[in-house]
Structure 1
Amino acid sequence: MAMAIPRVMRSASVAVLVAVVDAAVVFPGWDGWPSAAQVVAIAVVAGLAAWLPVVALLAALVLAVPGGANALLVWTGYQVGRQVVSRSGIVVAAVGSVGCLGVQLFVLSAPPGPVVSRYVIFVALPVVLGRYLAQQRRLVSAREAQRRQSRREQALHERLRIARDVHDSLGHRLSLISIQAAALEVTELPAKQREAVLELAASARQALDDLHELVGTLRDRGMPESRSLGGIDGLAAEFRATGAPVTVLREGVPAALAPAAYRVVEEGLTNAAKHAPGQPVTVSLRAEGDTLLVTVRNPLPAEHRRNANGRTGHGLAGLDERVRLAGGMFHTASSDQEFRLVAMLPLTDAIEEAEPEVPASRRRLWVVALTLTAAAIVILAGPASMLGGLGG
């Protein structure tokens, strides 16, 4: 909705500009209500060209049969070339143009030279220009998508290399330390040394778990560009199988979700299973405008409430980084009874994946240039010379 308002404003501005140009150039002798009605019709058709280009072109051709509406022909022809890609739309526009040309030549007996020139200048050329600019835009988008894919592949190769190096070096050494610490745990030792060994063994196992988590994250190349709601439901089913009651609520959520949204739910369920095993967990997915609000909350057992504020392990820290990279915000909150994990994510997952749009300033420049070109041609050629056959 937010993007539709500027589009409506642009269309209204262009419609007014086209109507003013046609009124000033084609109707120097204003004859009251008939001229006013034609100008209003020109403005309406010009405003609809952005949404219904073929219909707008056909209406412009009809309005142009008695003469005038040259700026409208330029604008609607440009929109047809820019937007229409289907063969049926092109055929309808071509048949309509040829039909109106035939009416002027064979029914109204207009001189062929000026009429054909008018159609070439005000209809054919804008269509060709619009088609050329549209193809250029698609080409630029394709090249940009190829560059993004190349950057992703390079980043993936680097991540895999780092994962291999970390696993082969630190993984091996930490595994040895963990095994040796486990052997010391079953050895008869004085109480003081035994306590230190237990702490050492626990730290070694935690370090090994953290390393495996890091390597797994670096090797996470199988993550698709988007996750479906079925993936969230499957994740919830896995946790239900372990005995944790999980409820998934959704409101206005699209079928495809960003990978970061899936990771938020996954980490929230894992966190709840670790700190509040067996407690009910509620996952909420709600779309608010162009934002996806993901919430995972669970009750806190009494023995974990005093430590709830300290739950900022590597998983949550990594999740915070992932959400920020996706253009969102992440935070956790806890009360005496409940722990809550909240993430706000853009529904159009990471801005990087969106196709680059033509800047608004460039679009306005093309609109103004086309309109001024049409006006200049009409003024230089002269309405009488372009439409002389219609009056004779």
Structure 2
Amino acid sequence: MGRHLLAAGVVAADTAILAAGRPGLAWVGLLLAVAALLSYRMPLFGFAAGLVLSAVTGLAYLMLLWTAFRAGRAVGGRRDAVAALGVAAGGLAFLLSLRPADAGAIPQLVVAHLVFVALPLLVGAYLAQQERLTAALADQARLGERLRIARDMHDSVGRRLSLVSIQAAALEVADLPPPQAQAVRRLAAAAREAMDEVYGVVGALRDTPDVAAVDALVAEFRAAGVPVRLSQRGSARALPAAAGEAAYRVVEEGLTNAAKHAPDRPVAVELAWERRALRVTLTNPGPPGAAAAAGAGRGLQGLTERVRLVGGRLGYGTTDGAFRLGATLPLHPPPAPAALRRPVLVGTVAAVLLFLLLPATMMLGVA
């Protein structure tokens, strides 16, 4: 909400300046609003619109600062950076073409362009890079914690279960009365199953599945006899590692519950790629009581926490006799508050410089 208020303030301030200095150009406020909207949907186009409006009116500096900053925030690679610099250079050429051929004014125009265009562009790109770096460090720390847990389980729990399994195997071949021999066989089988489960959990902790592995997961359940139908809407896009794993776990948990509580019933899995999020939905029309039983265990409670940690939402329940499990996972990870104090501080200082001090200095210079 804050950024929308800031954009509205930029449009209102520039419109007021235009109306006060040149009443005939007050209608340009509509074009400023369009440029502000473009800066959200298509930042480079909004940046180009801000450059054109500023060059034509000789004002609209706040909009120029805002659109340049938004274009910098959208820079995600070398291609985006080259495109943003190309738009900035094109804007400078357009500005120079509108001014009289006065060689003495060219350095002033270039310096103003650097201050009102290049500086906010670089600040926006810097903040975007800091947020991506913070997200990558958070994923790395999370992966390190997973590997530590896997190593501890393998070295401690796995070793103890191995000893129990060995001792149980030795008792299996011992000469024992039938009742004790049967109990030992059950103990040995339980120990081997526990070892298999521990090593399965260790493998799951070491391997980080993502949404790309959902096809293989669905094929695995389909081969086991679960009638699963997978559909996808929209174009697949990059998803943070934690969110990709959460999407995989949602499908895994939903299919496991369906196979357990409503076998032989069809399951529909849908991956819907939207502009800012991925929606994962599983629908399973089961017999009466199956949906409630599916949601009663701890699996979905843990899944809810997993999805919440990546900034998403999970919901499940029964509708018209069918159990529905749905998750919304953001395409951009939520920032880690402690790790982002420095970028937020830099962003606040940059916003004060760009949207308060620079316009005030400009107005005093004009006066």
The residue number in structure 1 matching 2:43 is none
Gaps of 5+ in 1: 27-34, 64-68, 106-111, 380-392
Quick one: which amino acid aligns to residue 172 of structure 1? R
* 1:289 Cα deviation from its structure 2 partner: 8.2
Q: Deviations over 1:287-315 (max 9, x none)?
A: 6885544333445579x9699369636x5
Q: What RMSD over aligned residues (CA atoms) do the two structures have, in Å?
A: 4.4
SS at match of 2:331: coil
Partners of 2:16 and 2:8 in 1: CA distance: 12
TM-score by length of 2: 0.70
Q: How does 1:1-392 map to 2 (within 5 A)?
A: 7=4, 10-24=6-20, 26=21, 35-41=22-28, 43-50=29-36, 51=38, 52-63=46-57, 69=58, 71-72=59-60, 74-75=61-62, 77-78=64-65, 82=69, 83=71, 85=81, 86=83, 87-102=85-100, 105=102, 116=105, 120=108, 124-181=111-168, 193=180, 196-197=183-184, 200-201=187-188, 203-221=190-208, 223=209, 227-228=211-212, 231-251=213-233, 254-256=236-238, 258-274=244-260, 276-286=262-272, 292-298=278-284, 308=293, 312=297, 316=300, 318-330=302-314, 333=317, 340=323, 342-348=325-331, 350-352=333-335, 363=351, 366-379=354-367
1:178/1:201 contact within 8 Å kept: yes
Q: Distance in 2 between matches of 1:76 and 1:352?
A: 27
Contact 1:45 1:60 in 2 (8 A): no
Distance 1:164 1:293 in 2: 33
Change (3 A) 1:142 1:153: same
The structure-2 alpha-carbon separation of the partners of 1:360 and 1:165, relative to structure 1 and needing over 3 Å to count, comes to: closer
Letter in 2 for 1:57: L
* Separation in 2, partners of 1:217, 1:321: 18
Q: Deviations over 1:246-271 (max 9, x none)?
A: 11244557545532111211232234
Most deviating of 161-170 and 292-301: 292-301
* Corresponding letter in the other structure for 2:293: A
In structure 1, distance between residues paired with 2:176 and 2:350: 78
In structure 2, the gaps of 5 or more residues are: 39-45, 73-80
Greater mean alpha carbon deviation, residues 239-248 or residues 181-190: 181-190
> Aligned AA for 2:331?
T
Amino acid at match of 1:97: L
Offset, 1:324: 2.9
* Amino acid aligned to 2:222: R
Residues 291 and 344 of structure 1 are in contact (CA less than 8 Å); yes or no, is this contact kept in structure 2? no
Structure 1's 161 and 240: CA in aligned 2 closer, same or farther, altered over 3 A?
A: same
Aligned residues with identical type, % of pairs: 35
Q: CA deviation at 1:155?
A: 4.3
The 8 Å contact of residues 22 and 39 in structure 1, kept in 2 or not, is answered as: yes
* Larger-Rg structure: 1
- 1:346 alignment partner AA: L
TM-score using structure 1 length: 0.66
Paired with 1:191 and 1:277, the residues of 2 have a C-alpha distance of 37
- Aligned partners of 1:239 and 1:246 also within 8 Å: yes
Q: How many matched pairs? A: 339
